[in-house]
Amino acid sequence: MLRAARPLLGAALATIVAAAALTAPAEPAEPASTGASVSGTGTGPAARAAELVSTMTTAQQAAAVIMGHIPTTDPSALSAYMTQGYGGFILMGANIPSDEEELHAVTGALVVDAALPPLIAIDQEGGLVSRLDTDGFPASTSLKSQPVSDTASAFSGRGALVAQAGATVNFGTVADVTADPSSFIYGRALGTDPQAAADRVAAATTAQERVLASTLKHFPGHGAAPGDSHHAIPSTTESLDRWRAADAVPFVAGIDAGASLLMFGHLAYTAVDSAPASLSARWHEIARDELGFDGVMVTDDLGMLQASGIEEYRDPVANAVAAIAAGNDLVLMISGSTAGTAAQMAAGLVAAVESGSLPAERLADAATRVLTLRLEQSASPAHWSRCPECEPAG
């Protein structure tokens, strides 16, 4: 388990701040999903997850597909929040104390059941989007013009830093691609052409998957759709064939490299579907059936849909139901969220199943995928060795 590696990493963290080397992962352990036993019965995480979901109530399944957030560093408040059974929690700036020991208290409080810890996520791209101020590793602004090996080194160190913080998921790999400096995603993209971005996305994915679950975002790609999805629904008329030849390339590379999660953006490719990809069954079908992604599909922050000002997306509960129905396995809610929002979303999912508007099988499948990843993360040990090339920037 990653938590068991903390004593080894604690000393290393101090050395990277002093511009020395952070301990980084050696060769990855055999994935738990290939047959490692979770419960001692000889079943792998996927089978064990299916077994657990079959015994859960609809309400428990609904809570399990929600990644919530409350802005506090109070361990007691965080623990009480997570006792409601949420599948995950995202760490934002308001959850990050300046002291490392206090940060461990925060992430530790989120784990209500050590046998089935939640997914603890963070947006740690480095550079422009960074929650951990100790991350001095090179980021997209410089990596896009440097050798691919530099991306691998930077994300090896970054992944280790995130794991040391107690997180098990990094929403840190931007697979969008654009050569337009005026695009809001330009500074965060890892390449200015599809193949260059693909090479770096694959390197970042491989490096991180050794110690945590990495995420590709923002599918199917912001590069072709002008505008910022934090307060609008960017759109493009780009055809599916053109997408396959261009914007899809980095996502395919990341999927092939083993990314655990795929984050769907609030943007529309109108030639494919007029709905935002995050709510589009067609885009989820493409990811599963055409690209072969078999991991956890997660929405971008559903609060961003509300911020678009479009009346259709005003209700976070309706957005959550639509997102799960479209094919997402995990719904993320941050902006505009209160301590009660996640519970309201869970209740809405239950009501949708009871009314027949959300198939029970779809909710169960989503819960199973999320629980599988949770079990994989809790069962996979981290193996660390010295990594001299993982030097911070500067």
* Torsional sign, CA 29, 36, 60, 300: positive
Cα 260 to Cα 246: distance, rounded to the nearest angstrom: 22
Q: Spot the catalytic one: 123, 135, 300, 301.
A: 300
Answer whether 185's CB lies under 8 Å from 137's CB. Answer: no
Cα 124 to Cα 132: distance, rounded to the nearest angstrom: 7
Cα 374 to Cα 352: distance, rounded to the nearest angstrom: 25
300 carries an active-site annotation: yes
Q: Spot the catalytic one: 150, 193, 230, 315.
A: 230
Cα 240 to Cα 285: distance, rounded to the nearest angstrom: 13
Answer whether 177's CB lies under 8 Å from 247's CB. Answer: yes
Answer whether 258's CB lies under 8 Å from 294's CB. Answer: no
**DSSP-based three-state secondary structure for 346:** helix
Chain centroid to CA 328: 12
- Where does residue 327 fall: left (phi above 0), alpha (psi -120 to 50 degrees), or beta otherwise? left
Nearest alpha-carbon partner for 62 in 372, 359, 346, 328: 346
230 carries an active-site annotation: yes
Write down the residue that tokens 């260059």 correspond to: 196
Active site residues: 230, 300
